[in-house]
Structure 1
Amino acid sequence: MDHKYELVAHRGFNFIRGIHDPDDVDGISKLEMRDSDIFVVTYPKSGTVWMQQILLLLEAKGDMTVYSVAKMPCNGDLVPWIEVIGSREAFLTAPSPRLRVTHLPYHLMPAALGQKKGKVIYVARNPKDVLVSYYHFHHLAKMLDTPTSFEDFFEKFLRGDVFGSGWFQHVKTWYSHRDDIDMFFITYEEMIHNLNVSVKKLCTFLGKELTEEQLADVVKYSTFSNMKKIPQANYEHVSDDLFNHHMGRFMRKGTIGDWKNHFTVAQNEIFDQVFQREMEDFPVSFTWDMTDMA
């Protein structure tokens, strides 16, 4: 990893130097919100790009020409991260609806969310698959330190010693504020199980009126197999300065249960112990394997 991209802790959260600026981040909490503002919130590798795709297509009523008209290299240009350097400033004058994604914790987000200004879509993914996906992403993304081994990354993830800090705290804190803000909470696994139902629920939450044909197009172009064929969704044109494209594609598997191909029995036992301790009173259950969908 380039030294300019090293992790830096700020206000209880791990950022990436060169990608995030503490002063910029501190200004986010003071942002004035519009009712039409929409934030997709995730812990890294939990369906952020997937929800970017769905939001774009809902806004375009399933019309894929949104890409040819926008002429943007990737979904992140059309639905940017609010915490990336320069994004907060651009947010101030952007036309409505302002669609943004973020990995930020609740306490660093606009305070106006607590006044039910704007909407939040929180996507949570089972943390074992998050860990595995994040491990592989660390090999692709040049702004992240390449892990010395899976075992080493496993330990860092459980300690929260990664960009985004701890998964457990991120999910629990955001969920605890679900009644304070206008929030739609959904799991990655729900979306895999029935994308059509998930998109319809999201459409209702956002107050969008689409025909059945338009909704069908949103779902069609938001499936993992189709997104892999869309360069903007698969981040194929992102600069080589940021991604080691020869290390693989941005969209890798998009499945449930890949952790079984990586965790040892001992690691799984350790993870389960931590999960049970941290999530003891958490009311949402997670799906750990595709067979659980039956």
Structure 2
Amino acid sequence: MEDLERDLLKFKGFYFQHKAFDTGFLENLDDFEIRDDDVFIVTYPKSGTIWCQQILSLIYFREHRKRTENVETSYRVPFLEYCSRHIDFGKTPSPRLFVTHLPYYLVPRGLKDKKAKIIYVYRNPKDVMCSYFHYLNTYPIFKAADSIEAFMKQYLEGKVLGSLWFDHIRGWYKHRNYFNIQFMMYEEMKKDLRSSVLKLSKFLSKDLSEETMDDVVRQASFENMKDDPLANNENMLYRHVGSKLQEGHFLRKGTIGDWKNHMTVEQNERFDMIFQKQMKDFPLQFIWDVNKTQN
């Protein structure tokens, strides 16, 4: 666990990946020029980030839907905080699409003009934790905790990339009126992708034809993404993180309720107590099981 913490760098109260960290860019991020038609996906890690990159790429880029260009979604919708060394954002044509794990207080102040749009995607924190645990143990560079118990302690202390899940979602929701923001639940997207794409397209003022909607929904399905080298993020991770410990896909399951296969009854009860304390009176709903509704 200490090895994993050494791979992180805390900047203004938030944990970043040390090797990909560009201090100069982040020191001046508050002044980053925002365009009115910019779109930002905001997520806590392992909350559907790659999936949303693919959905936006399919909505905005006809050449991506029609497979006429060989461009990965990680370049079409780059990470704001981790791609500044490789992409000149000032020269990127509009509309620019970004993805970020940043907390509300570190994003450029121009986002508070409420013209650029933010899509905040959230997922139930038990599935986030278990997905995070598998991800870190897939790549040897991360030297992750060797048990879910050890990682749960680290996760609940916020000593991971993205810091504390509770702080991230509460911060963005509490300050939502400062931004032009749409909250999307990962589990609702899984249950009804078509309705979720329609909701997103309306928020983005993108009038999609039935044919385009069909293409977006089909290509954004988990199974299609998993085998798509332009969308599954494996090439980017290989370039920047290194090879995996085992065979298989970076996109592992993407299911709802997989936490039940990893957490003991005691761990689940302990997690629930912390969740209830941290999220008391929090208005957004969560789905914990694929067969259950919100609670």
Instruction: Compute the displacement of 1:143 (Å).
Output: 4.8
Structure 2 stretches lacking a partner, 5+ long: none
Instruction: Compute the displacement of 1:25 (Å).
Output: 1.3
User: TM (normalized to structure 2)?
Assistant: 0.92
Show CA shifts across 1:244-290 (max 9, x none): 33523110001000000011111111100110001002101100001
Q: Indicate the SS of the match to 1:163.
A: coil
Q: Matches of 2:283 and 2:240 in 1, distance apart?
A: 42
Q: Matches of 2:183 and 2:205 in 1, distance apart?
A: 16
Q: Indicate the SS of the match to 1:291.
A: coil
CA 1:95 to 1:62, structure 2 compared with 1: closer, same or farther past 3 Å? Answer: closer
The aligned length equals 291
Q: Matches of 2:287 and 2:216 in 1, distance apart?
A: 24
Instruction: Compute the displacement of 1:140 (Å).
Output: 2.3
CA 1:81 to 1:2, structure 2 compared with 1: closer, same or farther past 3 Å? Answer: farther
Q: Indicate the SS of the match to 1:15.
A: strand
Instruction: Compute the displacement of 1:142 (Å).
Output: 4.7
> After TM superposition, where is structure 1 displaced by more than 6 Å over at least 4 residues in a row?
1-5
Q: Percent of aligned pairs with the same residue?
A: 44
Q: Indicate the SS of the match to 1:41.
A: strand
Q: Matches of 1:278 and 1:3 in 2, distance apart?
A: 25
For the 8 Å contact 1:80–1:99, the answer to whether it is kept is yes
For the 8 Å contact 2:141–2:241, the answer to whether it is kept is yes
Q: Matches of 1:125 and 1:135 in 2, distance apart?
A: 15
For the 8 Å contact 1:24–1:85, the answer to whether it is kept is no
Q: Indicate the SS of the match to 2:127.
A: helix
Aligned residue for 2:134? 136
Aligned residue for 1:42? 43
Show CA shifts across 1:41-77 (max 9, x none): 00000001010000000012585335x41x33x3212
Q: Indicate the SS of the match to 2:81.
A: coil
Q: Pairwise CA RMSD of aligned residues? A: 2.2
Aligned residue for 1:53? 54
Q: Indicate the SS of the match to 1:290.
A: coil
Structure 1 stretches lacking a partner, 5+ long: none
Q: Matches of 1:169 and 1:17 in 2, distance apart?
A: 21
Aligned residue for 1:242? 241
For the 8 Å contact 1:140–1:243, the answer to whether it is kept is no
Aligned residue for 1:171? 169
User: TM (normalized to structure 1)?
Assistant: 0.93
Q: Matches of 1:3 and 1:128 in 2, distance apart?
A: 20
CA 1:177 to 1:18, structure 2 compared with 1: closer, same or farther past 3 Å? Answer: same
Instruction: Compute the displacement of 1:24 (Å).
Output: 1.4
Q: Within 5 Å, which residues of 2 pair with 1:54-73?
A: 54-61=55-62, 64-66=65-67, 68-69=68-69, 71-72=70-71
Q: Which amino acid aligns with 1:224?
A: F
For the 8 Å contact 2:3–2:144, the answer to whether it is kept is no
Q: Within 5 Å, which residues of 2 pair with 1:1-294?
A: 6-61=7-62, 64-66=65-67, 68-69=68-69, 71-72=70-71, 74-86=72-84, 90-238=88-236, 239=238, 242-247=241-246, 248-293=248-293
For the 8 Å contact 1:82–1:88, the answer to whether it is kept is no
Q: Which amino acid aligns with 2:116?
A: G
Q: Higher mean Cα deviation, 24-33 or 183-192?
A: 24-33
For the 8 Å contact 1:142–1:242, the answer to whether it is kept is no
Q: Matches of 2:239 and 2:34 in 1, distance apart?
A: 35
Q: Indicate the SS of the match to 1:268.
A: helix
Q: Matches of 1:265 and 1:95 in 2, distance apart?
A: 51
For the 8 Å contact 2:47–2:128, the answer to whether it is kept is yes
Instruction: Compute the displacement of 1:237 (Å).
Output: 2.3
CA 1:23 to 1:5, structure 2 compared with 1: closer, same or farther past 3 Å? Answer: farther
Instruction: Compute the displacement of 1:85 (Å).
Output: 4.9
Q: Indicate the SS of the match to 1:8.
A: strand
Q: Matches of 1:88 and 1:11 in 2, distance apart?
A: 23
For the 8 Å contact 1:4–1:17, the answer to whether it is kept is no
CA 1:131 to 1:288, structure 2 compared with 1: closer, same or farther past 3 Å? Answer: same
Q: Matches of 1:86 and 1:241 in 2, distance apart?
A: 14
Show CA shifts across 1:161-205 (max 9, x none): 101000000001111122221101011001011100000000000
Q: Matches of 1:63 and 1:10 in 2, distance apart?
A: 35
